Structure 1
Amino acid sequence: MQFSLFYFDGDGATRNPDAYRLLMDSAAFADTNGLSALWVPERHFHAFGGLYPNPAVIHAALAVATKNVKLRSGSVVMPLHHPVRVAEDWAVVDNLSGGRAGIAMASGWTMEEFVLSREPHGFRRTQMWQGYEQVTRLLAGDSVEFEDADGNLVAAKTLPRPLQPRIPFWVACQSTETFIEAGRRGINVLCSLLGETLDDVAVKIRAYREALDQNGHDPDAGKVTMMVHTFLADDVETAKANVIEPFTEYLRTHYHLLESLAKSMNLNVKLSDFSEDDLETLLKFGVEGFMNGRSLIGSPESVQPFVQALADAGVDETACLIDFVQDYDLVMGGLPKIARLASANAASRPPKTA
């Protein structure tokens, strides 16, 4: 099992000269303490999460500030970008980092993001796969034809070329269909437990491995990365005491996560139906739900059974989402425990090269 750091939040709505301090300092820690990768999302128009509008820009900075850790998007929303721009940006990141870039792609999340797209929101999955095909061809050095403003076809060939012969790709997966399509194409998958149990996702991972095998790919070569909310302390009670208030606020600003959690428990919940007092109770219930069987919150020893369950389900890499706790000292103080957990699990299966 490999361990990496995943970033998702961060208050971009305030003018804070230290807004990227946690990102830069935790990246430096990961680089020198054996963690495998850094995952940066693409998120638009969110006060919490507004630090990450473009993962390529972030990773251009991290490329020259780190030496060892892999630099991956989590994820590039492919329908929002021209394929030429994606290929050029990530080839630059690959060059600056000495060949450490990796791209996870996604079809998109909210409607408001699609002010950046010329295509309707309903076509986003088709656009994602079309964009993937074009970007991979451009990164391989091929010419790809695109229409100019007058409708004329222009053959585009991008520079610089990446250092890696093939930049590794992931696709953000939720539906079984996407897992299977990833297997058909022979690319890696990035998934989570938002709205699902591990047993639910394990079925999809098996379908992914079967699709790899049926389409001529090594079923063991495909990499499954699972994003997991993570906060570790010396003991379980300290971890819970430190995380319950910030995690409650995190769920308050991300109500859709709470509704997804309720749905996964077969509860038909609409937050608009709740009073403020009831909502507070539900938030605490949601925190407990995330802590139990959906997160790495506790001590390195207490979460080990869940790490083993992830491995048994076919997960190769745990991407530890750390910045849902908006407290620099708490998060940085927990990183040595993540490194300890990673070290203890390093020999659990042979590493994959992506």
Structure 2
Amino acid sequence: MDFSLLYFSGDGSTTGKNKYNLLIESAKYADKNGFSALWTPERHFHPFGGLYPNPSLTSAMLAMVTEQIQLRAGSIVMPLHNPARVAEEWSVIDNISNGRVALGFASGWTIDDFVLSSESHANRKETMWSGINKVQKLWEGEYVELQDVTGKAFKVRTFPRPIQQKLPTWIVCQSDITYIEAGKMGANVLTSLLGATLEEVAPLISLYRQSLAKHGHNPQAGKVAIMLHTFVGEDFNIVKEQVREPFYNYLKTHIELLENLAKNAGVRIDLKKFTEADINSLLRFAYEGWLKGRTLIGSKTTCLQMIERLKAADVDEVACLIDFNDNFDDVMSSLPYLKDLKDMCNLKTEKMLPVH
């Protein structure tokens, strides 16, 4: 099992200094301690997440403070971008990082983001697949036909040439169609348990493996990473209480997660009609629900049980979302426990390998 760090929720509304301190220091730690990658997202017009409007900028910054860890967009909202600009910017980062770039792509969620796009929100899936294809071709040095605002076509080729000949590609997947399409193109998969249980995601991972094989790819060469909220400590009960308030605050700023959890439990709710006491009860319900098989929040022992479930579902990597907790000291203090968990998993795997 690979372990990467994923960032999603940094508060961009503050005017204080050192807003990127957690990103930079945790990235340095991950780089020195054998983590596989750093994921930074593309998020617009939301204060919590507003530290990350453009993953090419954050990855360029991280390229200068790390040496070996992979730098991943998690993810580029492809319909908001011209493919040539994506290829150009990330090729620069591939060069300054000496070939450590990987790109995750998404079609987009909120309609507000599409004020940045020349494409419609309704056509975002088709635009994503077309854009990815163009970015991959440009990355490999091919000419691609693009149109200006009048519809006039131009054949373009981008520079600088990247270090990596092939672009490592990931697709954010939630629906079965997206898993199948990711397998068809031989891309890796980034998913989550935000809208589904692991038992519901496992058949989709199987669909992905089948699609890889059907379209001539090695079904085990494709990687599946799953995003989990992560905070590991010495004792489960202590961690549970330590993280409770930060997780409550996180859920309050991502209210759609509360609605999804209630929906999955078969409960229809209208949060506009909720009192403060109702919201607090729902937060307690949501937190307890997330702790039951949807996070890496706990001790090394309890989290190892979750890792075993992920392995059984054919997951290759945990993308550990660590910045839902905005307490810098607490998060940094938890990382050695996460490293120990990572090392325990890898040591267990090594012991299982046959000796030649």
Please classify the TM superposition score into its range, dividing by the shorter chain length. Answer: over 0.9
SS in 1 for 2:102: strand
Q: Following TM superposition, by how much is the alpha carbon of 1:21 offset from its aligned partner in structure 2, in angstroms?
A: 0.2
Distance in structure 1 (CA, Å) of the matches to 2:348 and 2:49: 33
Q: Following TM superposition, by how much is the alpha carbon of 1:150 offset from its aligned partner in structure 2, in angstroms?
A: 3.7
Corresponding residue number in structure 2 for 1:122 = 122
Distance in structure 1 (CA, Å) of the matches to 2:167 and 2:73: 12
User: In 2, are the aligned partners of 1:195 and 1:262 still within 8 Å (CA)?
Assistant: no
Corresponding residue number in structure 2 for 1:324 = 324
Corresponding residue number in structure 1 for 2:276 = 276
Q: Following TM superposition, by how much is the alpha carbon of 1:267 offset from its aligned partner in structure 2, in angstroms?
A: 2.1
Corresponding residue number in structure 1 for 2:3 = 3
Give the aligned residue type for 1:193. L
Give the aligned residue type for 2:60. A
Distance in structure 1 (CA, Å) of the matches to 2:217 and 2:178: 16
Q: State the TM-score, normalized to the length of structure 2.
A: 0.96
| 2:181 corresponds to 1:181 | yes
Give the aligned residue type for 2:92. V
Give the aligned residue type for 2:120. P
Distance in structure 2 (CA, Å) of the matches to 1:84 and 1:16: 35
Alignment of 1:11-90 (within 5 A): 11-90=11-90
Alignment of 1:54-203 (within 5 A): 54-203=54-203
Corresponding residue number in structure 2 for 1:333 = 333
Distance in structure 2 (CA, Å) of the matches to 1:255 and 1:220: 36
Cα deviation, 1:21-42, whole Å, max 9, x if unaligned, reads 0000000000001111000000
SS in 2 for 1:47: coil
Corresponding residue number in structure 1 for 2:308 = 308
Q: Which 4+ stretches in 1 moved above 6 angstroms?
A: none
- Residue correspondences, number: 351
Give the aligned residue type for 2:70. K
Q: Following TM superposition, by how much is the alpha carbon of 1:16 offset from its aligned partner in structure 2, in angstroms?
A: 1.8
Deviates more, 1:273-282 or 1:291-300: 273-282
Q: Structure 2 stretches of 5 or more lacking a match? A: none
User: In 2, are the aligned partners of 1:195 and 1:263 still within 8 Å (CA)?
Assistant: no
SS in 2 for 1:301: helix
Q: Structure 1 stretches of 5 or more lacking a match? A: none
Q: Following TM superposition, by how much is the alpha carbon of 1:349 offset from its aligned partner in structure 2, in angstroms?
A: 5.5
Distance in structure 2 (CA, Å) of the matches to 1:182 and 1:40: 20
SS in 1 for 2:205: helix
Give the aligned residue type for 1:56. S
